[in-house]
Amino acid sequence: MSAFSRFTPLVQSLPATVPFVGPEAIERQRGRGIAARIGANESGFGPADSVLLAIQRAASETWKYADPENYDLRQALAAHLGTSPANIAIGEGIDGLLGQVVRLVVEPGAPVVTSFGGYPTFNYHVAGHGGRLVTVPYVDDREDLDGLLAAVKREAAALVYFANPDNPMGSWWPADRVVEFAAALPETTLLILDEAYCETAPPETLPSIESLIGRPNVIRTRTFSKAYGLAGARVGYALTAPGTAQAFDKIRNHFGMNRIGVAAAIAALSDQQYLKEVTQRIAASRDRIAAIARDNGLLPLPSATNFVAVDCGRDAAYARAIVDRLMSDHGIFIRMPGVAPLSRCIRISTGPDAEMELLEAALPTVLNKLAEG
């Protein structure tokens, strides 16, 4: 059956795709369940008990729409961050916020700068709004700030995307270089500074709130999906100057947030002791992944995130074979970067000891089978 004929020419030109194939789809395709879900950078450690209790309490009121102004969550975030609620916009995870930012500034044909091999969902939104992607290669497995700046100036770009720490490589830049990069951008270029992994990064990675909050052309995006363990709740937020934050109100879905997720996020902010404990567990799991990789002759890359990129020492076909064999033979779900030279790596999310034990047992078996041909 042909597609509906009244889709716009832009929509008709887009590929029929989604940025990621989900683990549930992989289970359906392979006909087997996932034993270790360590590929989507979720937190297998889950949310705090206090957050689970808040979810239970909020469940009875799920018949109500969430507050369209997200007042309580914005107040809680402002108190936590030491800023004003006027500096905060709430969205359905960072992915939802990225779509809104692109809608705010990108017209058809407008140049948008990002890193080649960086976060695919951002590219998906740019394509969906008719923007023209301009990509800059990574240098030494890290986003190239000088290259991004040069591309912005050369193209007179409307928007530039930079993740710190980075996905998919786990690398990072120190705060002073990030602030320097933001200050060097033209005032007409909007910077998305994606800080999804800010809670797992070294303290010196993150610019202070004060250093960037006064720049109307900088939007910092953060999420409750990673360290807080609420990926399924879809709660993210943007930090920016008041006028920029208020612009989201012009185009966002005012009833887009779910009431249970908002309650969970507020409770998560209140339990900073759990956040401290879980980030320690994430760091320990990161170390264990690195040790497993080294024990098998692979090279773990330094990481400031809740995953480790592991250099497999060969090409994308070899990395893909490892990913596929771990899933098909052992039910272990991991992922890999999508483009060369990053695609020589596999990417393994941190997780509980039981999942690490499955990985530790399965990886040498997979590598031996691949060596045998």
Nearest to 304 by CA among 204, 177, 161: 204
Binned at pLDDT 50, 70 and 90, residue 30 comes out as: confident
Q: How far is it, in rounded angstroms, from Cα 247 to Cα 344? A: 41
Reply yes or no on whether the pLDDT at 289 is more than 60. Answer: yes
Sign of CA dihedral 207, 209, 214, 215: positive
Domain 49-272 in CATH 3.40.50.300? The answer is no
Structural contact between residues 264 and 54, judged by C-beta atoms closer than 8 angstroms:
yes
H or E stretch including 240?
Answer: none
- Of 365, 347, 317, which Cα lies nearest the Cα of 120? 347
Is the predicted pLDDT of residue 19 greater than 80, yes or no? no
Are 169 and 138 a contacting pair, CB within 8 Å?
yes
Residue 319 confidence (pLDDT): 98
pLDDT-wise least confident of 4-13, 200-209, 218-227, 347-356:
4-13
Which whole number is the average pLDDT over 233-252? 98
Q: Which residue has the tokens 């996905």?
A: 167
pLDDT at 1 exceeding the cut of 70: no
pLDDT band at 18 (very low <50, low <70, confident <90, very high): confident
Q: Which 3 state secondary structure label does DSSP give 308?
A: strand
Percent of the chain with pLDDT over 90: 92
For 187, phi then psi, to 5°, come to: -65, -20
pLDDT at 3: 64
User: What CATH number does domain 9-45+279-372 carry, 3.90.580.10, 3.90.1150.10, 3.40.1390.20, 3.90.650.10?
Assistant: 3.90.1150.10
Answer whether 308's CB lies under 8 Å from 300's CB: yes
Residue spans per domain, the chain = 9-45+279-372, 49-272
Give the model's pLDDT for residue 2.
Answer: 62
Angle of CA points 91, 84, 149, to nearest 5°: 65
**Alpha-carbon span 132 to 304, nearest angstrom:** 30
Mean pLDDT of 50-70: 97
**pTM listed for this prediction:** 0.96
